[in-house]
Amino acid sequence: MPVPMTRDSKPVRTRLTKDLVRDIKRGHAWLYSHAVRPFDCEPGSVVHVYDRKGDRLLASGIGDPGHAIPIRICRTQPSFDLGDPWLAGCLDRALALRRAVFDETTTGYRLVAGEGDDLPGLIVDVYDSTAVIKLDGGAPRSFYQLPGLAEWLRKNVNVDRVIHRPQDRGASGRVLIGDAPDTVSFLENGLLFSADVMRGQKTGFFLDQRDNRNLIRRVSAGRTVLNLFSFNGGFSIAAGMSGARHVTSVDIAPQAIEAAGTLWEANGLDPSAHEGVVCDAFEYLEQAARNNQKWDIVVCDPPSFAPNEKSRPAALAAYEKLAKAAAKVTTQDGLLALASCSSHVDRDAFYGANSEGLGRSRRKGRLLSDNGLPLDHPTPLAMSELRYLKFQLFQLS
């Protein structure tokens, strides 16, 4: 008998209190508590959403009455059923998209991107023969059934290991199928990387920067590169593999710098062409400016400066400060890459902070590239708040 992938529950009924029919039909997957009448159910139960009059069934979703987002919409067309056949169909479509995009040179990718694949709260990343599942929120944790999902992944994606990463920061992963590895290796555009799928950040690696690492790879030949907030050296290795003259990786975490050095050598790169520095990035930039050090390419990919809306003003000030400090150590006609993963800072605000920072550094910049999420991180057109990643490449004069 097949292992179920979804929770079996009798649908609960509610109706809208606001006219959100157009938003729902256009793909916005979140209904906040002020937008629907109160309803009662266990987290993860199926909820049928009717219009304000209660006459027309508009959508079905998964509910959690106590959450700030009590309903996450899954289907907006009949039959509105949220059983295993529906989930398997969504997974099949997600897999078909990734197989059309990636070949054997890239074995690390996001297979399921939550709302972007019509599966709210479900994230599945694949690292070669290992799959990692994350569930965001009480409703997804109760609705999606991990044993059934793991079995589907084993059969359809040809993985031999499936890990569940709890939402709690710092919590170790739980093995659903296979063994518990220290790290797993995978390829990205032919580059060798590794992911700590049991304890690392996110699901073990920052897959969302793949296209931007490839962009830095394309422009780094013969140049000196400074990679700030380097983590385990993704941008550094990309630059090194294109023939960068020398690369400096800076991160405050000693284990990140150690991992960057290990991966640098694992890719067959000359150890003398790479320097790893354990230091706060802002402090490093101050020291480099005092010493009149400059690099042809400077990459700044910091962690989120805005974990919530309240922190947005401070985050914008930090991005401006970073742009100013990084510009001071970028050579004439050099390239400066500035990134943000803060969902509470939109693209225009990020560009404004960068523009102000460059102006305060008395550098003139040309915007060469303005990138976002890659193809394996789709988002609903109606949910711009999910397009969190910004990556802007400037040439400075």
Stated as kind and residue range, the H or E segment containing 321 is helix 312-327
What pLDDT was estimated at residue 170? 73
For residues 281 and 323, is the Cβ–Cβ distance under 8 A?
Answer: no
* pLDDT for the residue 25: 94
Instruction: Pick the last residue of a domain from 161, 195, 229.
Output: 195
pTM, two decimal places: 0.95
Cβ-based burial of 186 (10 A; exposed 0-12, middle 13-18, buried ≥19): buried
Q: Which of residues 22, 49, 75 is at a domain's end?
A: 75
231 shares a domain with 183: no
> Per the structure block, which two tokens stand in for 1?
């008998």
In a domain, 7, yes or no: no
Residue 201 falls inside a structural domain: no
The CA distances from residue 46 to 40, 41, 51, 123, in Å, are 11, 9, 17, 19
Q: Which of 75, 101, 124 is the last residue of a domain?
A: 75
Contact status, residue 302 vs residue 281, Cβ threshold 8 Å: yes
Distance, in Å, from the CA atom of 393 to the CA atom of 370, rounded to the nearest integer, reads 7
Interior angle at CA 26, CA 23 and CA 32, nearest 5:
35
From 41, 40, 44, 48, select the one nearest 16 (Cα to Cα): 48
C-alpha–C-alpha distance, residues 295 and 136, integer Å = 40
The CATH number of the domain holding residue 134 is 3.30.750.80
Q: Specify the CATH number for the domain of residue 384.
A: 3.40.50.150
**Residues in contact with 225: Cβ distance below 8 Å, sequence separation at least 6, in sequence order:** 216, 235, 236, 239, 244, 246, 247, 248, 295, 296, 297, 298, 299
> Using an 8 Å Cβ cutoff, are 63 and 70 in contact?
yes
Q: 150 and 133 in one domain?
A: yes
Q: Domain of 358?
A: 207-396
| Same structural domain, 313 and 333 | yes
- Cβ contact 320:350 at 8 Å: no
Same domain, 162 and 296: no
CA distances from 38 to 12, 23, 49, 164 (A): 11, 20, 12, 32
Residues 220 and 326 in one domain: yes
| Domain total in the chain | 3
3-state helix, strand, coil in the chain (%, to 5): 35, 30, 40
* Rounded Cα distance, 293 and 323, in Å: 16
Q: Are residues 171 and 190 in the same domain?
A: yes
Residues 239 and 381 in one domain: yes
Note the pLDDT of residue 141. 96
Question: What contacts 172, CB < 8 A, 6 or more positions away?
Answer: 198, 199
Residue 105 tokens read as 């040179």
Q: Regarding beta strands 246-251 and 224-228, do their DSSP bridges make them parallel or antiparallel, or are they unpaired?
A: parallel
The pLDDT value given to residue 299: 98
Find out whether 256 and 231 touch, Cβ atoms under 8 Å: yes
Per-residue pLDDT of the chain (397 residues; tens, 9 = 90+): 789 999 999 999 999 999 999 999 999 999 999 999 999 999 999 999 999 999 999 999 999 999 999 999 999 999 999 999 999 999 999 999 999 999 999 999 999 999 999 999 999 999 999 999 999 989 999 999 999 999 999 999 989 999 999 988 778 999 999 999 989 999 999 999 999 999 988 999 999 999 999 999 999 999 999 999 999 999 999 999 999 999 999 999 999 999 999 999 999 999 999 999 999 999 999 999 999 999 999 999 999 998 899 999 999 999 999 999 999 999 999 999 999 999 999 999 999 999 999 999 999 999 999 999 999 999 999 999 999 999 999 999 9
CATH of the domain at 60: 2.30.130.10
Question: Domain check: are 178 and 221 in the same one?
Answer: no
Q: Which residues contact 9 (CB under 8 A, 6 or more apart)?
A: 41, 42, 44, 45, 46
Q: Which pLDDT value is given to residue 307?
A: 87
**pLDDT (tens digit per residue) in 248-281:** 999 999 999 999 999 999 999 999 999 999 999 9
Q: Is the dihedral of CA 170, 174, 178, 179 positive or negative?
A: positive
C-alpha span between 80 and 135 (Å, rounded): 22
